[in-house]
Structure 1
Amino acid sequence: MKNIDQQEYVGERPLFNAANLNITNTTFADGESPLKEGHHLTLEHDTFEWKYPLWYCTDVSAINTTLLETARSGIWYTHNIDMKQCLIEAPKTFRRASGIHLTNVQMPIAQETLWSCDDITLDHVSAKGDYFGMNSQNIVAHDFQLSGNYSFDGGRNIEIHNATMLSKDAFWNCENVTVYDSTIIGEYLGWNSKNITFINCRIESEQGLCYMDNLVMKNCSLIKTNLAFEYSSVHADITTKIDSVKNPVSGEITAPAIGEIILQEDQIDPSKTTITETGVTVK
């Protein structure tokens, strides 16, 4: 491996098609695509200041590395990238990439980030921005924080643990999602999705959980959630009062109390859903 230390690069593609490099304490300033087509790169304490720094790369390790906001669209078509203790200010990072492993990474301007990507692990990652994770698949997240609407739209095979998500229209058009021990706050949660499971979760969602096929909720609380489960097949064990339930198509719903139950026989068959009010709130 060749070592590069304390350098500054400007201009377009200064290290195009580089391979087997350890790059430390280096700044990539004005100039697009500095490491395009790079392979087997180790980055540590580096700074990227301009667009498209890591396109079409393979086998990249980055530690304590920073992408400034101007390094937008920074990591596209790249495969096998491991980033630890990094700050990614740039929007539109990660597109059609795979083998993405992020640990202790902050993304404060994560607009349109992680689109159409595969094989993603997020460990102690925080992000702020709309349309996070759109059309991506095979995602595992632990200790994840997100503030941004329309997250994971079109996602497949997603497993999330210990998350806090402030996200309107989260998990739309998804398939095979399991969320554990998490808080989700936002309107219209989960519409048009299939095989979605929430376990030990706290959810606030106006008119959430509708148009869903095989929705499972185990030991979950629904706070400020009204008109829930419309046109959904659902198996829900809820520990708090539900404000209102409207026209579920099948399944079982159990809760201590339900403020209003709306069952319109001209739209659904009420006999296909069992609704039980236990009168007991589980803390």
Structure 2
Amino acid sequence: MKQISGERLVGERALFMSRALTIDNCIFADGESPLKESKELEIKQTSFQWKYPLWYCQDVKVTDSTFFEMARAGIWYTDNISLTDILYEAPKGFRRCKGISLNKVHFLNADETLWNCSDIQMNNVTAKGNYFAMNSRNIKIDGFNLAGNYSFDGCENIEVKNAKMISKDAFWNCNNVVVRDSYICGEYIGWNSENVTLENCTIESNQGFCYMKNVVLKNCRLLNTDLAFEYVSDVDAEITTKVISIKNPISGRITAAGVEEIIFDDPNIDAKATEISLTD
């Protein structure tokens, strides 16, 4: 492979359509789309300081590198890319990409990052920003910290474990979600989603788990949670804590340590279709 080392690269499309290239200890300064349409790249200890650095690329490996705030909309329409040991300051980081591997990546501004992407693996990732991973699919996550609302809206086929999320409206409009050994704090979790399973999780939510179908909670703690399960059908919930209130579930089974208030005030709902039992 050809190698470029220790250079400061400027100007639009500085390395346009590169092939089989190793880039080491370089700076991509002002100049849009420096690596557009490139393939087979190995990038190490390099900083991206301007817009659109990796568009329409294939087979890219980036390690121990930095994406500055102005490297916005940085990785779009790119397939088979891995990032390891990365500080990523720019928003709108990934769009319409396939085959993404993120390991030890810190997104300082993750607004609108990972939109319409597929086949994503994330390990030990931290992110701060709203609308993370919108309309993406086939996502596996292990070790994830997020501070940002409206995360994973419209996603499908998601597996998450060992996560901490402060995120209002997380997992809306989703299909096929499994979350294990995680903490989520945010209002209105999961609305309009189907086939959602949470195992050994701690959830704090106002009006959580509403307008959903086929919801399973196993050994979960619902803290400071009220008006839960409104218009949810086929619920199977095992809750080890007390719940403030449950309102108008359509069908299923809910077991909790206690419920301060059970509300059935919709005449179209048969309260007998949902079995609610208390363990304390």
TM-score, reference length from structure 2 = 0.99
Q: Which residue of 2 aligns with 1:145?
A: 145
Percent of aligned positions that are identical: 57
- Name the SS for the 2:206 alignment partner: coil
| SS, match of residue 135 in structure 1 | coil
Q: Structure 2 counterpart of 1:2, which letter?
A: K
Letter in 2 for 1:189: I
Query: Does 2:177 match 1:177?
Result: yes
Give the structure 1 partner of residue 110 of structure 2. 110
Which letter does structure 2 place at the counterpart of 1:271? Answer: K
1:226-237 maps to which residues of 2 (within 5 A)?
226-233=226-233, 234-237=235-238
Aligned to 1:19: 19
2:130 is paired with a residue whose SS is coil
1:265 Cα deviation from its structure 2 partner: 4.9
1:38-85 CA distances to partner (integer Å, 9 max, x unpaired)? 100000000000000000000000000111010000000000001100
Give SS of 1:64's match.
strand
Give the total of aligned pairs.
279
1:263 corresponding residue in structure 2? 264
Cα deviation, 1:150-173, whole Å, max 9, x if unaligned, reads 000000000000000000000000
Paired residues of 1:31 and 1:50 also in contact (CA < 8 A): yes
* Alignment check: 8 A CA contact 1:247 1:267 kept: no
Which residue of structure 1 aligns with residue 80 of structure 2? 80
Q: Which amino acid aligns with 1:249?
A: I
Unaligned ranges ≥5, structure 2 = none
Q: State the distance in 1 between where 2:89 and 2:79 align.
A: 21
Higher strand share: 2
TM-score by length of 1: 0.98
Quick one: which amino acid aligns to residue 61 of structure 1? K
Q: Give the structure 1 partner of residue 276 of structure 2.
A: 275
In the alignment, what sits opposite 1:253?
254
1:48 alignment partner in structure 2: 48
Alpha-carbon distance in 2 for matches of 1:125, 1:211: 30
Offset at residue 148 of structure 1 (A) = 0.1
Cα deviation for residue 264 of structure 1 reads 2.4
| Cα deviation 1:7-28 (Å, max 9, x = unaligned) | 1111100100001000000000
CA distance in 2, matches of 1:82, 1:207: 38
Deviation (angstroms), 1:215: 0.5
Structure 1 residue 271 displacement after superposition = 1.3
**Mapped pair 1:101 → 2:101:** yes
1: distance between equivalents of 2:199 and 2:80? Answer: 31
Structure 1 runs of 4+ with >3 Å offset: none
**In structure 1, distance between residues paired with 2:80 and 2:89:** 21
CA distance in 2, matches of 1:229, 1:129: 27
Name the structure 2 match of 1:133.
133
Aligned residue type for 1:254: T
Aligned alpha-carbon RMSD (Å): 0.6
Question: 1:124 — aligned with what?
Answer: 124
- 5+ residue gaps, structure 1: none
Corresponding residue for 2:156?
156
Paired residue secondary structure (1:65)? strand
Residues 1:241 and 2:242 are matched in the alignment: yes
One-letter amino acid of the counterpart of residue 228, structure 1: A
Question: How far apart in 1 are the matches of 2:83 and 2:268?
Answer: 50
